[in-house]
Amino acid sequence: MKHKLLALDAGHPGQMDALEEHFEIIRPSKPDPERVIRDHQNDIKAITTYLTPISRTLMEFLPNLEIIACGAVGYDHIDLEAIRERDITLTNTPDVLTDDTADVALLLLLNVARRAVEGDAYVRAGLWKNGALPLGNCLAGKKAGIVGLGRIGQAVAQRCAAFNMSLAYYGPREKPDQPHEYYSDLSAMARDCDFLILTCPGGPATKHIIDYKVLEALGSNGFLINVARGSVVKEDDLLAALSNKAIAGAGLDVYEHEPHVPEAMFTMDNVVLTPHIGSATIETRTKMGQIVADNLIAHFKGQALLTPVT
Ligand code: GLV
């Protein structure tokens, strides 16, 4: 008999096909998704999610839940305390999305610094004949401060170095194997940087660490780039800093209340907005889906997991 698997979202390309052979997939469909879950309450042994939150309440509702296979590298949307208490297994999808996410950080940085999105709109609106676009900002020789020098942060650093930028990083501890300048004080790093790039995990430890004080330190010539989690930035403070020009601009892929993006940003020329596309390529999402499936299959075969969260 196939184990029952609750799929909280559609999954990545190929993921459900890979799972269907091994699991009975329960999809909490409309009009009454809760009833669907209730109907299988005692049989659901596994959950898949991408960014759909998993609360303690849901876990407590499923007495035989053994494993959550998260199709993302970040798992701050899952109640970790409840997982630990119940000894539920958790897996994620690290490594495969590192390059794509770092690419998006640079995409945002280049676009906002060189006014590319603004320039595109300028050309399409037929405004070029009236005069040139205002000047942008050079990357070479500028300093990028990376918040969270993990896998993605290091990949961002590599790319910034290729643009002849100098590098610094902030995090909970210095990494002696890294050649870049370490700051234990986030505001001090922001003050010394031209670009503040967020690549740290979300969750309670990083919630709202970017507030008005840090943005003010970044200063009126500085740019904020966020490919981490929206929760890292106090969005109201960012809006205030952008509208009164306390910072020069921002490139954002993540937001505090996705998919809601503050409407005030829609009319700001100094902001580039993408809809959480860090890992959104066919190649990478396909790999992420395969990892989700392989972890689940390994778990129920009693084999070693590929990417357990420990
Ligand atoms: C996407 O944001 C991820 O954590 O994989």
The ranges assigned to domains in the chain are: 3-96+283-300, 98-273
Cis upstream peptide for 31 (omega within 30°): yes
Tens-of-pLDDT digits for all 310 residues of the chain?
899 999 999 999 999 999 999 999 999 998 999 999 999 999 999 999 999 999 999 999 999 999 999 999 999 999 999 999 999 999 999 999 999 999 999 999 999 999 999 999 999 999 999 999 999 999 999 999 999 999 999 999 999 999 999 999 999 999 999 999 999 999 999 999 999 999 999 999 999 999 999 999 999 999 999 999 999 999 999 999 999 999 999 999 999 999 999 999 999 999 999 999 999 999 999 999 999 999 999 999 999 999 999 9
Provide the b/e sequence for 61-88 (b: ≥16 CB within 10 Å): ebeebbbbbbbbbbbbbbbbebbeeeeb
115 among known catalytic residues: no
Scan for tokens 């798992």, then name that residue: 75
For the CA atoms of 61, 66, 71, 74, the dihedral, rounded to the nearest 10 degrees, stands at 80
Hey, do 3-96+283-300 and 98-273 end up sharing a CATH topology, with the first three levels equal?
yes
> CB within 6 Å of ligand 1 — which residues?
72-74, 97, 278-279
Give the CATH number of domain 3-96+283-300; options: 2.120.10.60, 3.40.50.800, 3.40.50.720, 3.90.920.20.
3.40.50.720
For a ligand 1 pocket test, name from 99, 279, 291 the mutation site with the most ligand atoms within 8 angstroms of its C-beta: 279
Q: Cβ distance 53 to 77 under 8 Å?
A: yes
Q: pLDDT value at position 1?
A: 85
Distances (CA, A) of 64 to 57, 67, 87, 113, 228: 14, 9, 11, 51, 33
12 among known catalytic residues: no
- List, in sequence order, every beta strand (DSSP E) within the chain: 3-7, 23-26, 44-49, 67-70, 89-91, 143-147, 166-170, 181-183, 195-198, 223-226, 249-252, 271-273
The answer for residues whose C-beta is within 8 angstroms of residue 33's C-beta and 6 or more apart is none
Q: pLDDT value at position 96?
A: 98
pTM: 0.97
The CATH code that applies to domain 98-273 is 3.40.50.720
Strand, coil or helix: 142: coil
**How many angstroms is it from 93 CA to the middle of ligand 1?**
8
Amino acid residing at 76: D
CA-254 nearest atom, ligand 1: 2
For a ligand 1 pocket test, name from 12, 48, 49, 73 the mutation site with the most ligand atoms within 8 angstroms of its C-beta: 73
258 among known catalytic residues: yes
HSE (side-chain half, CA atoms, 13 Å) at 153: 22
Find the catalytic residue in 229, 256, 285, 299. 229
